[in-house]
Amino acid sequence: MQYYEKTHQPVFYRKITPSIKWLLIINAGITFISLSEYAQGVLTEWFALSTFAVIHQFQLWKLFSYLFLHFELLHLFFNMFMLWMFGTEVEAALKPEKFLKLYLFSGVGAGLFQMLFNSSAHDIVIGASGAVYGVMVAFAILFKDHIITLLLFFVFPVRMKAKFLIPLLIGSSIVLFMFWGENSRVAHIAHFGGAVCGLLFIFYDDFMVQSRYYIKKQKKKREEYTRRQHDLKLQNIRQEVDLILDKINEIGYENLTKEEKNLLTVYSKLLLDEEKT
């Protein structure tokens, strides 16, 4: 990911970026509304993700809307804290529009993974964890050598390079799913899906950036080649015109051949047009 590494370096605790700010506000606002039991029921019915709702009732918007539902303050805090901690740097590197694409792509992908691997069609899934996992993986790729500190079991500080987050996040999601699976209140497979989608998004985006750079470079080469050929052609024309002019000085214009007179007329016009452009 050399493209991003050359254009941005991470600085934690920077001023909050636009997309992160609005995501925090929207999520916090919806959580505040959901403190009402009635509102929580309505939000669950209309916006929480379930396989049954998406496939059998064709409520496709729930693949997006579930990302903004947090009915527990602790759930909201951890998701938004991690989003702020890693997301500000990722957004600064990618710019807001691309960051939002990453966030939503990872969130929708997380939901699809949960639907694919969860056998219970009526299980409800809410929360931005999958999208946040995608953002964290993006950070680990873009700033792979940046040192971060994690609290193991929320107590023991562990320092590691960001690039080790990828196997840690994906591996822990798989292990936790294998041990607890559908019996857990945490959608571990959604975390895994979000991490994978974040990985795919950054590598695809980097591929597109490099492809556009390569195409631009090849176009520039073709333009330079065309210009060199044009300059070479003009140089040859000037040489021929000089030869004809030397001949005129020696024997006079009237003694030129018809072909030489035609060439002089055509070449003179070409050189005149070239000077005007």
Query: pLDDT digits over 116-147, tens only?
Result: 887 676 788 899 999 999 999 999 888 888 88
Burial 259-275 (b: 16+ CB within 10 A, else e): ebeebbeebeeeeeeee
10 pLDDT above the threshold of 70: no
Distance separating alpha carbons of residues 171 and 79, to the nearest angstrom:
19
d(CA 87, CA 103): 9
pLDDT confidence of residue 3: 44
Return d(Cα 101, Cα 176) in angstroms, integer. 28
Do residues 214 and 199 lie in contact, with contact meaning Cβ atoms separated by under 8 Å?
Answer: no
Contacts of 160 (CB under 8 A, 6+ apart): 147, 148, 150, 168
Phi, psi angles (nearest 5°) of residue 252? 95, 155
73-104 tens-digit pLDDT: 988 998 998 899 889 999 998 999 999 999 99
For residues 164 and 128, the answer to whether their CB atoms sit within 8 Å is: no
From the CB of residue 97, how many other CB atoms can be counted at a distance below 10 Å? 10
Q: How confident is the model at residue 2 (pLDDT cuts 50, 70, 90)?
A: very low
- CA 21, CA 29: separation in Å to the nearest integer? 12
Token pair for 164: 């080790």
Q: In whole angstroms, what is the distance from residue 125 CA to residue 189 CA? A: 11
